[in-house]
Amino acid sequence: DGGITQSPKYLFRKEGQNVTLSCEQNLNHDAMYWYRQDPGQGLRLIYYSQIVNDFQKGDIAEGYSVSREKKESFPLTVTSAQKNPTAFYLCASKSVGANVLTFGAGSRLTVL
């Protein structure tokens, strides 16, 4: 079945550590997205990529980095510069020209 796989499901990080969240899709979608979800808030866009080797900052990119070396993969690194990284992170994808996003199951990051 086609879909988006995010890993790990749960991740704990000590302050000062960088962590990388994985996102892999087999939907042959061109565009991929990372969102952050906090309680009581809407999804906020961190980074997005519409083509391999190219990506753009979203509304809250500070403290995060991404790469898009393959069409199927869009990993997100949460760096030590992110002041409040504890959140639920969602990866999504869509075909270019389409509007409907398909989401992964999410990764919950907790900073200890």
Partner 1 sequence: EDQVTQSPEALRLQEGESSSLNCSYTVSGLRGLFWYRQDPGKGPEFLFTLYSAGEEKEKERLKATLTKKESFLHITAPKPEDSATYLCAAISSGSARQLTFGSGTQLTVLP
How many beta carbons lie within 10 A of that of residue 85, not counting itself? Answer: 21
Q: Counting contacts by CB under 8 A, is residue 2 touching partner 1?
A: no
Closer by beta carbon to partner 1, 91 or else 111: 91
Residue from the set 11, 45, 60, 61 that interacts with partner 1 by CB under 8 A? 45
- Give Cβ neighbours of residue 54 (< 8 Å, ≥ 6 apart): 68
Q: Which residues, in sequence order, are bridge partners of residue 91?
A: 34
Residue from the set 47, 78, 87, 104 that interacts with partner 1 by CB under 8 A? 104
Q: Counting contacts by CB under 8 A, is residue 108 touching partner 1?
A: yes
State CA 88 to chain mean position distance: 10
Please give the residues from 62 up to 91 whose contact with partner 1 meets the rule CB under 8 A: 90
Q: Counting contacts by CB under 8 A, is residue 40 touching partner 1?
A: yes
Cα of first residue to Cα of last residue in the chain, in angstroms, is 36
